[in-house]
Amino acid sequence: MNQITDYTKYNKIAVMGGTFNPIHTGHLVAAEAVRQQLGIERVIFVPSGKPPHKESDPMLTEHRYLMTVLATVTNPHFEVSRIEVDRTGLTYTVDTITELKRRCREDCRIYFITGADAISEILKWKEPERLLSMCEFVAVTRPGYNSSELKKTVNSLNESYRGRITLLEIPALSISSTDIRHRVLSGQTIKYLVPSPVEEYILKFGLYSPDFNSIPEADAINARLHSVLTPKRYKHTQGVAEEAAKLAKRYGADIRKAYTAGLLHDCAKCFTDGEKLKLCKVYGVKLDDVLKAQPDLTHSFLGAKIAEAEYGIRDKDILNAIAYHTTGRENMSLLEKIVFIADLIEPNRDYFKGLDKIRKLAYNNIDDAVISALERTIEYNRERKRVIHPLGLAALKYLKEGKNEQH
């Protein structure tokens, strides 16, 4: 829940739960209508994290949360909680309500508002009876909704819980998130169907556009990575993806692209050196003298080719971030710098000399972090008498010259 809200002052509170992919005017009208009809003082929007009943795209989670904040910010009775988006593992409503109840007065009435379809499945949720004893449910529906499933569910409940589910038709819910996504994909307007800051946000990040949809979902990528990486390497790629997404958020880069590049940066890492060299031939990766002498270094260039051919990545910036994540290069894009740094600082990484300094710099000035990381890598490889790849030397020279020009 929100750390700065004192929930003990309220008599009636509601949680508005949903995926909000994206939030739209129908959700806002529904929340406000329920609030007014039931005399609710505070509505807490809780964008879902990883619900147990369906696959969700972790790359979209932060976008869904931020859009919900943008949509609700002008209503003094609304707030948004990160409780589910920040929870690791599966997110269950019963845990969310338990946490809220802990923060409220004993006699506070708690409501859970969501779509009627979801509530008609409530018997399959975790601890439905405890949930119903802690809060009342408001099932909001679109016009023309067939309520027979929900009625069946209500009738099968123990009599003491039957009165704890209320059905409310909301005409504005003829808008749906699915329709919004289809409209964006087919180039139709979504004006007035979502609040204008949400519309601008969707356009700014290209959410739901054909380009956006051309990036495969994280679950599909992970399923494949699972079978080609060792468990340790798989864990590292999850750490890099999450760190890259955080850095992208810090620097205003595309979070989904950063997450995807992070997931895939080492997709060619676990082949043997012999396999790497063979695959370089198959995919047309040119081998210079340094790569010939150190075949493991090919994994980043080969990874970019494999990400394109086998994982369906078409975005050039993602592919370059994979290709140059080990060496760097002159004039790196922001995404390239983010993946380069995320690879070094993600929390599962074993400690190396200089790591603390790079971690500190990463969120202050990404260029300084890349300079520090390149200097450290060059020193490390020189100590081991390895040839330094010219791309790394060029990257360092370029960034240092850029800094000197600024001064």
Site residues (vs ligand NAP, CB under 6 A) = 16-19, 27, 30, 48, 51-53, 92-94, 113-115, 117-118, 125-126, 140, 173, 176-178
Taking the alpha carbons of 171, 56, 322, 308 in that order, is the dihedral positive or negative? Answer: negative
* Cα–Cα distance for residue pair 125/15, rounded to 1 Å: 16
- Least gap, CB of 396 to ligand NAP (angstroms): 47
CA distances from 331 to 43, 285, 298, 337, 392 (A): 47, 21, 21, 10, 11
Q: Closest separation between CB of residue 113 and ligand NAP, Å?
A: 6
In whole angstroms, the minimum distance from the beta carbon of 160 to ligand NAP comes to 21
Q: How far is the CB of 214 from ligand NAP (least distance, A)?
A: 22
DSSP state of 351: P
CA 65 – CA 382 distance, rounded (Å): 45
**Distance in Å, CB of 26 to ligand NAP, minimum:** 6
Q: How far is the CB of 297 from ligand NAP (least distance, A)?
A: 44
Nearer to ligand NAP, 25 or 372 (CB): 25
Rounded least distance, CB 197 to ligand NAP, Å: 18
Nearer Cβ to ligand NAP (30/264): 30
CB of 50 to ligand NAP, least distance (A): 9
Nearest 5°: the CA angle 88, 92, 94 is 130
- 101 contact partners, CB below 8 Å, separation of at least 6: 108, 110, 134, 135
Which residue, 113 or 323, is less far from ligand NAP as judged by CB? 113
CA distance linking residue 386 with residue 294, whole number of Å: 9
What count of other Cβ atoms lies within 10 Å of the Cβ of residue 36? 10
Q: Which residue has the tokens 């399959």?
A: 124
- Give CA 116 to chain center in angstroms: 26
Task: Match 């989904």 to its residue by tokens.
Answer: 256
Please, which residue, 117 or 273, has the CB nearer to ligand NAP? Answer: 117
Least CB distance to ligand NAP at residue 126 (A): 5
Residue whose Cβ sits closest to ligand NAP:
115
**119 vs 332, which CB is nearer to ligand NAP?**
119
Closest CA to 343 of 255, 254, 233: 233
Please report the DSSP string for 58-78 in residue order: HHHHHHHHHHHHHHHTT-TTE
Is 17 in a helix, a strand, or coil? strand
Q: Let me know: does 311 contact 216? Beta carbons within 8 Å.
A: yes
Between residues 194 and 261, which has the closer beta carbon with respect to ligand NAP? 194
CB closer to ligand NAP out of 102 and 286: 102
- In whole angstroms, what is the distance from residue 299 CA to residue 210 CA? 29
Give 173 or 202: the residue with its C-beta nearer to ligand NAP: 173
Q: Which CB, 20 or 301, lies closer to ligand NAP?
A: 20
HSE-CB at 278 with a 13 A cutoff on CA atoms is 5
